[in-house]
Chains A and B, each alone.
Chain A
Amino acid sequence: MEEPELDTQYDVIVVGTGLVESVVAAAAARIGKKILHIDRNDYYGGQWASFNFNGIREWISDATDPPPPPPQQQQQFPGADELVLAEGESLVAVGDPSSFYFNVNQTCYMPEVAPAPSGNNDASPQQETAHQSSAPEAEEAQSQTTKETPSPNTSREEDDVGTSEADENESASVASESEVVAEEENAHAGPALPTTTTTEEENAHAGPPLPTTTAEENAHAGPLPTTTAEEENAHAGPPLPTTEKNSEESHKTTEANDSTAGNMITPAAIEESEKVWAHRDFVRHSRKFNIDLAPKLLYSRGPLVELLISSNVARYTEFKCITRVLTWMMTGKGECEDGGLLAVPCSRSDVFTTSAITLVEKRLLMKFLQFCSSYEKHQEQLEEFQERTFGEFLKSRGLTANLIHFVTAAMAMVGPDEPCQTGLERTRLFLASLGRYGSTPFLFSMYGCGELPQAFCRLCAVFEGTYVLRKPVSHLVVDSGNNRCIGLVAEGQRFGCDNLVMSSDLTPSHYHGDNGAWSELCHISRAILFTDRSILPHKEEQLTLLRLPPTPDNPQPVTVIEGGSRAGICPQGVYCLQLSCLGKEAEVDLAGAVRKLVDHPGGPTLLWSLYFNQVDVSRCDLVSCSPANLYLCPGPDSSLDYDAAITQARTIFFSMFPDETFLPRAPDPDEIVFDNIGAELKDGDYFEEEGSSKTEQENKLEGQETGREEAVSEGHDSEDNNAQVNETKEEVTSKGI
């Protein structure tokens, strides 16, 4: 299809498809602004992207060996100096985004090809350097990427899959998304081996919001709560098999053992680990991977969840509940680093069933959590702790060392030396999100965090935002008179705008807050590890959050997210560990954590790893030195959640449009009508959605409002009612702890 000529004047131009940029773009489009959203990459998400296996390898090779710089471009396109500039206008070259990542280093511990079945995987792992690893397949794939298929997921795989698979691919990509979601469910349910799994699931998210199709995009996943509820069901699993029938109490103790005995391996885990993975398998299953550059979680009552619901963007997204929160518990006292992983009792039923804490501790913990969820009502009890630490406060409440560890390390996720107020606030955040969708307070974006910016882009596209990927920007056009940014130059073409929103990695250096140097610059160390089993095997695949508090071994607290095929981030039988902490040397900073979790006898086998450092400018001054109508969006920060990004997007939106509404609820498809410009219908005409699409019968069977309300209760059920009242009351006070 011939690329349509782009308009050259917009209300807002958004450069970069990171989360902040995408939210701003969607919000602006939603109130009717004319949007151009471009990205230099051929994928969505920028620093927030998720990649399949081949995609990440390509990203690695780009990051370690940056592509040739723009001079070539200037030959291809009319040079910047050829542009006609009005008086007072000047061109400002954009910054170099490649400086945002360093220390990128991948290692492959798998053989290139799986050894013969007789061979065991104790053969010395084959190590690859970053440069060698861009295997021929990937390069080939790269050469095939064309402008018409601007997605990393769809563009780089043709040669990896057999022809038949490719065919399937094509046909499946036509299928509506809802169908695909169903397929996905099946894929999870079935015990299908990675090699035989159908390819539909990849397609579920292969399609980024292509501008030409998104407007008609009516098929979508259900709204957020529904989807997650289903997920929950899936998790709870079928009733216990009959083999466990007389293990009335062993049911409980097994679980307890799981959590206390750090390295216990279930038979299932052993079976899984028998598969010997080879590099070629990873490449073949490339599309089963969704590897996050910036793994994050959502608090179930955090601002992003609320925004997704209130804006109706939730329908483009799917989530999975974090199924367990783990912590590292020291067994020995003092210097010794011995310890093990333990499930943190988060919810009331966790506290009830756990054997990790004593009877009295159960009461103390519950009491403290109940206090915490409404601590502001008890200021009188807090007065003396205004100036004191959270740890001191916890001690004063009679909490044992055990409990203090759970609260600080796993719930509040702050050190005991933080101010009391901070600790309480963080704990409350944790508690408030508990019980909304699952037994932990966190949601994980299925198929990787890169889905989130895309969801907002999709909304923007529905509201007529124009999308162009692979469109690098070379210069900003600035009116030096009033210091406003009046447009930009991309591939030699000039586009004008009233407001420019841009990802901060393109910031021209003299716009940096402190006159050319970032102040308050942070660095984040990240590691992505693939292993053959979970760090704490369980009979069902878990989605885990673990926060390692600082120890001599790992001076910075390390956040760990572990997921598997159920989260849609890697093939079945592989687990993906994502570690991050503050720091400038990823491999050094995270070494302690990796030792604890992976590198120990009986631990999971490491298959592949990637370390890198990311520059975090979220605390930098992005405003004072740049033109007033240029809004710079920071990349992902080091926090666990998306709260900062949403706050930034909101701030930017209201700076541009102080009197408008930020992302009001988007209409559902049946509330939308399209009048086709250029088609027979004129402006103002629209297709009334008669019940015609439904058969008479369907109509008839829908929503009869004659059902009589249940009013009768009898026998012990009337006593139940009492329990219910109690429970409801309970919820008000303790938010369902």
Chain B
Amino acid sequence: MHGRLKIKTTAEQAAEKQKEREQKRKLYLGGITQAFAKRTSNIHDEEGLKITAQLLTANPDAATLWNFRREILLAMKEELDEEKWSTKLLGEMGVVESCLGKNHKSYGAWHHRAWVMNTHPAPPWKDELKLCNKYLKMDERNFHCWDYRRFVVMGSKQGPEEELQFTRQLIEHNMSNYSAWHYRSKLLPLVHPPPPSTPHPISEAALIKELQTVVEAVFTDPSDQSPWFFLRWLVNRQEPSPRLVQVGYIEHPGAGDRSAGQVIVVFSGAVGTVELPGVAVDRLRAEGLVWTSPGGHRYSNVWYTELYLPNDSEHHTLTIKCDSAPERTLAVGCGVRRAVEWVGGVEAGSEELTDTARSTLEEVRENCSTLDELDPDNKWVLITLVDVLWALDPRSHQRRIHHHLSQLQHLDPLRATYYGDTKSKLAMETSLEHHRIEASAEGQGGEAGRSFSMLGRSLTRVTSAHLLANAERVNLANNELRSVAPLSSLIACQELVLDGNKISDLTPLTTLSSLTKLSLAGNKIKSVSQVTALTQLKNLESLNLKGNPVCEDEEATKEIMEALGNLKELVLR
């Protein structure tokens, strides 16, 4: 006859649980005490391994216990032959796995596993890949496991092709797996490297295939940002390494017979001194040049050096030679006070696209437009459209890009400033490209290259200011600029007009030693010390501060007068 059943009351169950918990706590604390006692007295025995294993399985995050465990193992290694040692270490794998079962994001457990693999005479790499697969299936974004996977891939010599296949499986299973997309973007350039000097991150054939897949993903779910990031990575032009974009020589004003000036080199990205070119005057290498960067940074887009020409009354040829680019020559001397040459275009990776690449990008553009019709107001579609148009040709698509960015500002108000900055970048780069074309047409000494102005274009940010390093007159009046930090690159600038902006901090301007005229009317300058710091500009003759808050204060104006009273022109009101 079977028993009659009775269900335990919740109170009974709670009491039981409580009792159990007490018991566990007691055991755990007992174990900890035991383990620490052993460690203090340097006892490295099997019992120690057993205790720590039990404790760690309960709490895999106890780093000290893992350390003790390693100490014990290393101490034991002395007495074991290779085979036994290997078995011992493999046993550790079991301990780690039971810990991972408890907490698959335990730092200690993953670290210990890597330690075992590194210590093992013949690590079982292939099995470890399987383990990674297992844990990535459980939690596809477990970064411990992703890290460990990279470690195992390196050890097992698993080729990037296999890994690429693996990411494909993950993505097909769940296209929201950003980790997999990201990993893919790291592997693709290894498997399908782009030929040199193409603006794409991977070879053209691979690009076409990848775009096909990722477009399917975004059509399936355009609100999922993971594939969009990948898509944007694919279409955006890449600049593999900084290239030389501009070289110039500008004579110091008022130099005597023996002309002195600056050689200014501009790169598309920041470079260190090692990458700087050699300079030769009339084929004679100039020795002992000291290169300086505007902010004194170790890496910079702009570098300059003082150069003395032997005799100003003669023509000289300056030869500037970088390792990575053909040499450039500047014709100077004999009254030529300035010679500037543009080497490359303004935009990143400005190489011409091949027909295939162009038609592929056009296809992406069409697909995005279709998506935009099907799902209007999707920010990812618009962002990608901006990217694609930019990659195709930012100048001819300027209006469209601008329009999409305005849409985005409206759709995604939290990032409105970012889109505003992007608009500024677009406007600025376009103007700079015009500037470059005009300047190049005129030749090295041309007048057009001397001045650059963008008035009332609602710029919120100055971008690519390094391309103005050789300009003498820069006018950015009536914009929305708040920061002048990028303007520290304007090392050759003599006249700088920044009227009608929202500038309050002048510190970055204090290094522009060539400045003679600075106009800051109608800005937000409040602090006297900001203004008085301009005394560092030794060549400054004219300063306009009209319409700044600082000028409304009697005390302040007095102080400014005191500090800068010796200027030829000082406008405060």
Docked complex: B31-66 residues within 8 A CB-CB of A: 31, 54, 57-61
- By beta carbon, the residue of chain A nearest B367 is A359
Evaluate contact between B223 and A701: CB separation under 8 angstroms: no
Tally of contact residues, A, Cβ under 8 A: 72
Query: In this assembly, does B275 line the interface, its C-beta being within 8 Å of a C-beta of chain A?
Result: no
Report which of B16, B58, B173, B178 forms a contact with A716, defined as CB distance below 8 A: B178
Nearest CB in chain A: distance from B133 CB, A:
6
**Residues of B contacting A249 in the complex (Cβ-Cβ under 8 angstroms):** 209
Evaluate contact between B20 and A676: CB separation under 8 angstroms: no
Report which of A212, A236, A352, A464 forms a contact with B4, defined as CB distance below 8 A: A464
Bound Cα distance A585, B102 (Å): 58
Evaluate contact between A717 and B220: CB separation under 8 angstroms: no
**Residues of B contacting A672 in the complex (Cβ-Cβ under 8 angstroms):** 5-8
Chain A 661-693: CB-based contact to B (< 8 A → 1; otherwise 0): 000000100011111111100000010110100
Report which of B2, B173, B179 forms a contact with A216, defined as CB distance below 8 A: B2
Evaluate contact between B371 and A363: CB separation under 8 angstroms: yes
**Residues of A contacting B164 in the complex (Cβ-Cβ under 8 angstroms):** 248
Query: In this assembly, does A230 line the interface, its C-beta being within 8 Å of a C-beta of chain B?
Result: no
Query: In this assembly, does B217 line the interface, its C-beta being within 8 Å of a C-beta of chain A?
Result: yes
Evaluate contact between A720 and B4: CB separation under 8 angstroms: no
Nearest CB in chain A: distance from B210 CB, A:
10
Q: Which of B22-30, B83-91, B562-570 contacts A (4 or more CB under 8 A)?
A: B22-30
Query: In this assembly, does B174 line the interface, its C-beta being within 8 Å of a C-beta of chain A?
Result: yes
With A348-B175, A363-B220, A697-B54 as known contacts, state yes or no: A704 contacts B24, CB within 8 Å.
yes
Query: In this assembly, does A233 line the interface, its C-beta being within 8 Å of a C-beta of chain B?
Result: yes
Evaluate contact between A722 and B225: CB separation under 8 angstroms: yes
Query: In this assembly, does B414 line the interface, its C-beta being within 8 Å of a C-beta of chain A?
Result: no
Chain A 355-374: CB-based contact to B (< 8 A → 1; otherwise 0): 00001101110110000000
**Residues of A contacting B16 in the complex (Cβ-Cβ under 8 angstroms):** 688-689
- By beta carbon, the residue of chain B nearest A719 is B178
With A349-B172, A700-B24, A703-B24 as known contacts, state yes or no: A717 contacts B143, CB within 8 Å.
yes
**Residues of A contacting B28 in the complex (Cβ-Cβ under 8 angstroms):** 700, 704, 706
Docked complex: A239-279 residues within 8 A CB-CB of B: 239-240, 242, 244-249, 251-252
Chain B 259-284: CB-based contact to A (< 8 A → 1; otherwise 0): 00000000000000000000000000
Nearest CB in chain A: distance from B258 CB, A:
55
Nearest CB in chain B: distance from A564 CB, A:
23
- By beta carbon, the residue of chain B nearest A701 is B57
Query: In this assembly, does B166 line the interface, its C-beta being within 8 Å of a C-beta of chain A?
Result: yes
With A697-B54, A704-B58, A707-B61 as known contacts, state yes or no: A720 contacts B179, CB within 8 Å.
yes
Evaluate contact between A364 and B1: CB separation under 8 angstroms: no
Docked complex: B115-172 residues within 8 A CB-CB of A: 130, 133, 137, 141, 143, 146, 161-162, 164-166, 168-169, 172
Docked complex: B1-19 residues within 8 A CB-CB of A: 1-8, 13, 16
With A673-B6, A700-B31 as known contacts, state yes or no: A691 contacts B20, CB within 8 Å.
yes
Bound Cα distance A190, B1 (Å): 41
Evaluate contact between A678 and B141: CB separation under 8 angstroms: no
Evaluate contact between B3 and A676: CB separation under 8 angstroms: yes
Query: In this assembly, does B105 line the interface, its C-beta being within 8 Å of a C-beta of chain A?
Result: yes
Bound Cα distance A667, B179 (Å): 42
**Residues of B contacting A351 in the complex (Cβ-Cβ under 8 angstroms):** 220
With A348-B221, A359-B216, A699-B23 as known contacts, state yes or no: A674 contacts B61, CB within 8 Å.
no
Evaluate contact between B146 and A359: CB separation under 8 angstroms: no
Bound Cα distance A697, B30 (Å): 13
Nearest CB in chain B: distance from A86 CB, A:
32
Query: In this assembly, does A658 line the interface, its C-beta being within 8 Å of a C-beta of chain B?
Result: no
Evaluate contact between A245 and B165: CB separation under 8 angstroms: yes
Evaluate contact between A251 and B165: CB separation under 8 angstroms: yes
Evaluate contact between B219 and A362: CB separation under 8 angstroms: yes
Evaluate contact between B370 and A360: CB separation under 8 angstroms: yes
**Residues of A contacting B252 in the complex (Cβ-Cβ under 8 angstroms):** none
Evaluate contact between A252 and B179: CB separation under 8 angstroms: no
**Residues of B contacting A462 in the complex (Cβ-Cβ under 8 angstroms):** 5
Evaluate contact between B3 and A215: CB separation under 8 angstroms: yes
Kindly name the residue among A249, A671, A679, A691 whose own CB sees the greatest number of chain B CB atoms within 10 A: A671
- By beta carbon, the residue of chain B nearest A666 is B7
- By beta carbon, the residue of chain A nearest B53 is A701
Evaluate contact between A707 and B102: CB separation under 8 angstroms: yes
Evaluate contact between B220 and A671: CB separation under 8 angstroms: no
With A248-B165, A700-B28, A722-B225 as known contacts, state yes or no: A359 contacts B57, CB within 8 Å.
no
- By beta carbon, the residue of chain A nearest B2 is A215
With A352-B220, A675-B6, A716-B179 as known contacts, state yes or no: A363 contacts B374, CB within 8 Å.
yes
Query: In this assembly, does B215 line the interface, its C-beta being within 8 Å of a C-beta of chain A?
Result: yes
Bound Cα distance A675, B105 (Å): 44
Bound Cα distance A704, B26 (Å): 11
Nearest CB in chain B: distance from A234 CB, A:
12
Query: In this assembly, does B103 line the interface, its C-beta being within 8 Å of a C-beta of chain A?
Result: yes
Query: In this assembly, does A353 line the interface, its C-beta being within 8 Å of a C-beta of chain B?
Result: yes
Evaluate contact between A699 and B4: CB separation under 8 angstroms: no
Query: In this assembly, does A726 line the interface, its C-beta being within 8 Å of a C-beta of chain B?
Result: yes
- By beta carbon, the residue of chain A nearest B20 is A691
Query: In this assembly, does B239 line the interface, its C-beta being within 8 Å of a C-beta of chain A?
Result: no
Query: In this assembly, does A696 line the interface, its C-beta being within 8 Å of a C-beta of chain B?
Result: yes
Query: In this assembly, does A76 line the interface, its C-beta being within 8 Å of a C-beta of chain B?
Result: no
**Residues of A contacting B219 in the complex (Cβ-Cβ under 8 angstroms):** 359-360, 362-363, 366
Kindly name the residue among A216, A247, A362, A730 whose own CB sees the greatest number of chain B CB atoms within 10 A: A362
Bound Cα distance A348, B174 (Å): 8
Evaluate contact between A675 and B3: CB separation under 8 angstroms: yes
Evaluate contact between B182 and A716: CB separation under 8 angstroms: yes
Query: In this assembly, does A463 line the interface, its C-beta being within 8 Å of a C-beta of chain B?
Result: yes
**Residues of A contacting B174 in the complex (Cβ-Cβ under 8 angstroms):** 349
Evaluate contact between B133 and A239: CB separation under 8 angstroms: yes
Query: In this assembly, does B224 line the interface, its C-beta being within 8 Å of a C-beta of chain A?
Result: yes
Report which of A366, A679, A701 forms a contact with B220, defined as CB distance below 8 A: A366
With A236-B137, A246-B161, A701-B54 as known contacts, state yes or no: A363 contacts B6, CB within 8 Å.
no
Nearest CB in chain B: distance from A236 CB, A:
7
**Residues of B contacting A713 in the complex (Cβ-Cβ under 8 angstroms):** 143
**Residues of B contacting A366 in the complex (Cβ-Cβ under 8 angstroms):** 219-221
Report which of B24, B173, B209, B367 forms a contact with A699, defined as CB distance below 8 A: B24
**Residues of A contacting B182 in the complex (Cβ-Cβ under 8 angstroms):** 716, 719
Nearest CB in chain B: distance from A556 CB, A:
34
Query: In this assembly, does B352 line the interface, its C-beta being within 8 Å of a C-beta of chain A?
Result: no
Evaluate contact between B175 and A674: CB separation under 8 angstroms: no
With A359-B215, A717-B146, A719-B178 as known contacts, state yes or no: A726 contacts B161, CB within 8 Å.
no
Bound Cα distance A730, B224 (Å): 8
**Residues of B contacting A360 in the complex (Cβ-Cβ under 8 angstroms):** 219, 370, 374
Report which of A367, A686, A716, A726 forms a contact with B6, defined as CB distance below 8 A: A686
Query: In this assembly, does B375 line the interface, its C-beta being within 8 Å of a C-beta of chain A?
Result: yes
Evaluate contact between B176 and A671: CB separation under 8 angstroms: no
Kindly name the residue among A252, A463, A727 whose own CB sees the greatest number of chain B CB atoms within 10 A: A727
Q: Which residues of A contact B (CB under 8 A)?
A: 212-216, 233, 236, 239-240, 242, 244-249, 251-252, 348-349, 351-353, 359-360, 362-364, 366-367, 462-464, 667, 671-679, 686, 688-689, 691, 696-697, 699-704, 706-708, 710, 713-717, 719-720, 722-724, 726-727, 730
Top 8 nearest A-B pairs (CB, nearest first) are: A674-B3, A704-B58, A215-B2, A717-B143, A723-B178, A700-B27, A710-B105, A676-B3
Cβ contacts A to B, 23 pairs, < 8 Å: A213-B2, A215-B2, A245-B165, A352-B221, A362-B216, A362-B220, A363-B374, A364-B374, A464-B4, A671-B13, A673-B8, A674-B2, A674-B6, A675-B6, A677-B1, A699-B27, A700-B24, A704-B59, A707-B60, A707-B103, A715-B143, A717-B179, A730-B221
Q: Which residues of B contact A (CB under 8 A)?
A: 1-8, 13, 16, 20, 23-24, 27-28, 31, 54, 57-61, 102-103, 105-106, 130, 133, 137, 141, 143, 146, 161-162, 164-166, 168-169, 172-179, 182, 209, 215-217, 219-226, 229, 367, 370-371, 374-375
Known: A360-B374, A674-B4, A730-B176. 13 other contacts (CB 8 A): A244-B165, A245-B161, A351-B220, A362-B219, A363-B375, A673-B8, A675-B4, A675-B6, A701-B54, A702-B24, A706-B61, A707-B59, A716-B179
